Amino acid sequence: MRIILHGGAGGIPGEPEPRQAVLDDAADAGASESDPLSAVETAVRVLESDRRFNAGVGGAVQSDGVVRTDAGVMLSDRQVGAAAGMEGVEHAVSVARAVLEDTPHVLLTGEPAVEFAADAGVETGVDLFTDETRERWANADAPDGSPSEHLAWLADRFGGSTSDPTAEAGDGYLPTNEGTSASGDRSVRNARLPGHDNSEETSAGSDRSARNARLPGHDTVGAVATDGETFASATSTGGRWFALAGRVGDVPQIGSGFYASPAGGASTTGAGEDIARVTLARRAVG
C-alpha cells in the first residue's frame, strides 16, 4: 500500500517535531491496511484524534461557540461519501465512509448526520475542545444575537478570501494551496512533504504563504492511498476559526476538498472558499 498525507496548511508550528511524529504514525497505520479506503480512513483517524491538527479534537470554533466537523472520502470508481456540520463527532472520516457504504446518498449534514453516525457505530457527543481552543474562545468576546450581528463580529476575525473570487481559471488565478495529490509529479513532491505546513509546495507564491501564516485554523488533514489499482482520497476538518455558525467549506464538497479517479487522488487544504470556487481537487487530478 502506498500512502501520502498532510497535516494542513496554515501557520508554521512552534514545535514541528511532535506533529511530524504523529504524521509518521498515521502514515504507518494507513500503510498497514489491506485496501486503499481503509488506509486513508485509518491514517486520517490518527490525525483527527491529535489536538495539534484542526480536525476532530482541537477543531476550530464557529461564531456560536460550537466545533463542527466535516469530512469526505472517495474511490477511483466514483464511490463517494461525505458528512458536514457535525457537533460532537471526532471521527468525521468514518461517518463519510459510512455514507459511502451504507446509504444511496453522497452527503449528510447537521444533526441528522450526527444521528446517522451514532446509528453507524461512530462515537458522538465527544468534547472536541482542548485547553488551548477553550482559552482562545473564552478570549474572543463572543457575539450574541442574529446572524447579521455574528457577521459584524467576524468581519475582523475570519480570514476571508485570499484570492480574487472574480478571476477566471487561466487568468493566473491560483487558490491558496494545491493540497495533496497522488497523480503525476505532485505525488513525488508531496510524498517528501507529509507535514505540509505552509511550504512553497502548498502555497501559490511566497506572498500568499506569508498571508496564511497570519490566518490560523487552516490545518485540515487528508490522505491519498493506492494499491496500484484503486485510488482512495480522504479529507477531514474542524473548519476555520470564527466562521459564521453553520459555515461549510470545501472539505465535504466533492471535487473541492477531495477527489479520486482512475488518474489519481487529491486532498486539499487551505482557504476553503477559494478552493471551492474552482473545485480544486478535481482540477488537480485532471
Q: Assess contact for 284 and 259: CB atoms under 8 A.
A: yes
Q: How confident is the model at residue 84 (pLDDT cuts 50, 70, 90)?
A: very high
pLDDT of residue 159: 61
pLDDT > 70 in the chain, percent: 79
Range of the domain at 246: 2-285
pLDDT tens-place string over residues 9-25: 877 777 789 889 999 99
What contacts 90, CB < 8 A, 6 or more positions away? 48, 49, 56, 57, 69, 123, 126, 128
Angle separating helix axes 92-102 and 110-119, nearest 10 degrees = 80
Q: How many CA atoms lie within 13 A of 28 on its CB side?
A: 6
pTM above 0.85, yes or no: no
At 130, list the grid cell: 482542548
- The sheet carrying 180-181 orders its strands as 180-181, 264-267, 258-261
Number of structural domains in the chain: 1
pLDDT tens-place string over residues 89-103: 999 999 999 999 999
Range name among 54-58, 98-102, 108-112, 222-226 with the lowest pLDDT average: 54-58
pLDDT of residue 176: 33
Q: Assess contact for 46 and 27: CB atoms under 8 A.
A: no
232 has a pLDDT exceeding 60: yes
78 has a pLDDT exceeding 90: yes
Mean pLDDT of the chain: 82
